[in-house]
A and B are shown apart, each in its own frame.
Chain A
Amino acid sequence: MERVAVVGVGNTSFKARHIDKTFPRLAYEACKMAMEDAGAGKEDIESVVYSIYNDFFEHCAMPDHHIHYLLGFARKPGSRVTTGGATGGYSVRAAFAEVASGLHDVVMVVGVEKVADLANVIEMVKSITFAADPFFEYQLGASPAGSYGAAIRWHMENYGTTEEDMARVVVKNKGNARLNPDAQSPIELTVSDVLKSPMVIYPLKILDHCLNSEGAAAIILASEKAAKRFRKDPVWITGIGASTESGRQAERDYSDASLFPAVRNSALSAYRMAGISDPSEAIHVAEVYDSFSGVEICLYEELGFCSWGEGTAFLKDGMADIGGKIPVNPSGGLIGCEHAIGATGIYQVVEVVRHIRGEAGDRQVSGAMRGIAQSMGGARGAYSVCIVLEG
């Protein structure tokens, strides 16, 4: 298997609405920035993987091939990956496979989403719930928050996690976003501000939710041989693990300690591939899928940053802060920076690469040599991808 490097990264700013740009334009801007970052030309790109979650968001059932020719790639290979919130992670995995197998030397991945073209939030959520089990469960009125709410309540009951603890995640991530010029929600908040926001699905209040964002992110992957052609030092993908669980979330209720078994499995395989035996020591920075505040606390445990039930202590001790032992979501994450779904897993890689290169500006995690990007999707994280990046 060829070694695979990230040689270029780019992203647009993230906003609730890019009224001045269509989805191909957002994709173009992220791609152009990634090519400039790599010192690559259009002719260097042999194949493109499009990371686009939901046909309804783009108002087009096959949005990828309409971006492809507008980018000037007609007649080159172009394909789309869509796996819910893990669309970005699985897209990187598909492009990784193209390079690692020797099929191509240079492959670009671009993720884009234009959510606010849907007329309102009800239509947006409706488009997401079309992903539920189409025979039995989709008419139950479940929602993305509903699929996570019950799991977080379980964590509260078993480990004593409180709504206040979860609010600290929001304060941290929106605070980190203030250091990120591309972030959608750079806000200074207190725990009590979060607790006072309206309850949506117990225990999740409005401010515990991730953002709905428009924007795009792109990365360029290259084989070791091809990486030499480009401008900057490569950042290597040394581990990539993926797992897809039952799409019916209740079937997973009787798992062992893991509330998100796909996350656990994806992390274990990524760590094994990267030769990491103790993630709590080996990882210096992490961008993870904080779809809801309480989820981030669960992820500290699932990803092996601490033991089962220790997630809240990990947070309260400042371990997840910039300057802590493993800074988590220095970009602001899905709560503070962006959740343009198809772009999210790509942007996580962009962010970790910038930290490893020392290009993360005011939010730079010092001494970051190795980091992970983890994204998940489907009912309560049915899909998960975990990517290990090293300088």
Chain B
Amino acid sequence: MPEETDLRFKPISYKDDFVIVPDRWKVDFMVSMGELSVFFRELKENAKLMGTRCPKCGSFYFWPRSWCHDCYEDCQWVEVSQKGSVTMFSRVDISLSDLQKEVPFYQGGVHLDGVRYPIVALIKNVTMDTLHKGMRVRAEFLPLQERTGRIRDFYFVPDV
């Protein structure tokens, strides 16, 4: 049965001489995380951040990569430090995302200790005055019952 709000079944409307047809694309997914599964399982079940290391050149990847793009070798899972430094950052005052409605929020690059690249992450308990390049931060995790196994299960706070 069509839902009340489903635009696909609403009648057309008019704007001046022209017709507007309401429509909606609704597409559900069940995404297989395949070779990346370890990362999501450890995040949800154990509040651990898992990266990968190349056995040939030693590059340590987080976000994890299942192969090293320099050596074309398969990487191995290794737990990553939960501490790191801020690289770039900005403050969002008007959110255009339905995933993050509370404003303002802060996002930036965080370079975890020992890994090759920074990641983009949410940073909490900061202001534009306290945030700075090189600021030490640590990961904080939602409690087990609130974690859904997604990236928003953790964020960074100042490491004081």
Q: Which residues of A contact B (CB under 8 A)?
A: 19-20, 56, 59, 119, 121-122, 125-126, 129, 133-137, 139-143, 145-146, 149-151, 153-154, 157, 198-203, 248-251, 253-254
Taken together as a complex, chains A and B put the C-alpha atoms of A140 and B97 apart, in Å, by 9
The interface residues of chain A lying within 8 Å CB-to-CB of B63 are: 133, 135-137, 248
Q: Which residues of B contact A (CB under 8 A)?
A: 7, 15-18, 23, 25, 31, 33, 36, 63, 87-100, 105, 107-111, 117-122, 128, 133, 150-152
Taken together as a complex, chains A and B put the C-alpha atoms of A74 and B102 apart, in Å, by 50
Whether the pair A202, B151 counts as a contact (CB closer than 8 A) is no
Candidates A125, A140, A250; contact of B87 at CB < 8 Å: A250
What are 15 A-B contacts with C-beta separation under 8 Å?
A: A126-B97, A140-B100, A140-B107, A141-B92, A141-B105, A143-B92, A145-B96, A198-B94, A199-B93, A202-B128, A250-B87, A250-B110, A250-B119, A253-B88, A253-B118
A139-B150 in contact given A157-B133, A250-B119, A253-B87 (Cβ < 8 Å): yes
Beta-carbon nearest neighbor of A123 in chain B: B98
Whether the pair A150, B89 counts as a contact (CB closer than 8 A) is yes
Whether the pair B98, A126 counts as a contact (CB closer than 8 A) is yes
The interface residues of chain B lying within 8 Å CB-to-CB of A141 are: 92, 95, 97, 99-100, 105, 107, 122
A253-B109 in contact given A136-B63, A139-B150, A153-B88 (Cβ < 8 Å): yes
Minimum distance in angstroms from A223 CB to a CB of chain B: 38
The interface residues of chain A lying within 8 Å CB-to-CB of B16 are: 19
Minimum distance in angstroms from A141 CB to a CB of chain B: 3
Whether the pair A201, B87 counts as a contact (CB closer than 8 A) is no
Total number of A-B contacts with CB less than 8 angstroms?
A: 117
Taken together as a complex, chains A and B put the C-alpha atoms of A258 and B18 apart, in Å, by 48
Whether the pair A154, B99 counts as a contact (CB closer than 8 A) is no
Q: By CB atoms of chain B within 10 A, which of A150, A203, A254 has the most?
A: A150
Candidates B17, B91, B120; contact of A142 at CB < 8 Å: B120
Beta-carbon nearest neighbor of A125 in chain B: B96
Beta-carbon nearest neighbor of B119 in chain A: A250
Taken together as a complex, chains A and B put the C-alpha atoms of A119 and B35 apart, in Å, by 37
Whether the pair A249, B87 counts as a contact (CB closer than 8 A) is no
Beta-carbon nearest neighbor of B106 in chain A: A202
Beta-carbon nearest neighbor of A158 in chain B: B133
Whether the pair A250, B150 counts as a contact (CB closer than 8 A) is no
Candidates B89, B93, B98, B151; contact of A140 at CB < 8 Å: B151
Minimum distance in angstroms from A281 CB to a CB of chain B: 33
Candidates B15, B91, B107; contact of A19 at CB < 8 Å: B15
Whether the pair B90, A201 counts as a contact (CB closer than 8 A) is yes
Q: Which 4 A-B residue pairs are closest in the complex by CB-CB distance?
A: A141-B100, A149-B90, A150-B88, A141-B97
The interface residues of chain B lying within 8 Å CB-to-CB of A143 are: 92, 95-97
Whether the pair B90, A136 counts as a contact (CB closer than 8 A) is no
A201-B98 in contact given A150-B109, A157-B133, A248-B63 (Cβ < 8 Å): no
Whether the pair B90, A202 counts as a contact (CB closer than 8 A) is yes
Taken together as a complex, chains A and B put the C-alpha atoms of A140 and B132 apart, in Å, by 21
Minimum distance in angstroms from B61 CB to a CB of chain A: 10
Minimum distance in angstroms from A379 CB to a CB of chain B: 8
Whether the pair B93, A200 counts as a contact (CB closer than 8 A) is yes
Whether the pair A135, B36 counts as a contact (CB closer than 8 A) is yes
Whether the pair A139, B151 counts as a contact (CB closer than 8 A) is yes
The interface residues of chain A lying within 8 Å CB-to-CB of B95 are: 141, 143
Whether the pair A146, B90 counts as a contact (CB closer than 8 A) is yes
Whether the pair B90, A250 counts as a contact (CB closer than 8 A) is no
Q: By CB atoms of chain B within 10 A, which of A20, A141, A149 has the most?
A: A141
Taken together as a complex, chains A and B put the C-alpha atoms of A136 and B25 apart, in Å, by 24
Taken together as a complex, chains A and B put the C-alpha atoms of A249 and B108 apart, in Å, by 10
Minimum distance in angstroms from B124 CB to a CB of chain A: 13
Minimum distance in angstroms from A31 CB to a CB of chain B: 22
In the complex, given contacts A56-B25, A140-B107, A202-B128, what are 6 additional A-B residue pairs having Cβ atoms less than 8 angstroms apart?
A119-B7, A136-B63, A141-B122, A146-B92, A249-B120, A250-B117
Beta-carbon nearest neighbor of B100 in chain A: A141
Taken together as a complex, chains A and B put the C-alpha atoms of A253 and B120 apart, in Å, by 10
A20-B18 in contact given A201-B92, A251-B118 (Cβ < 8 Å): yes
Whether the pair A202, B105 counts as a contact (CB closer than 8 A) is no
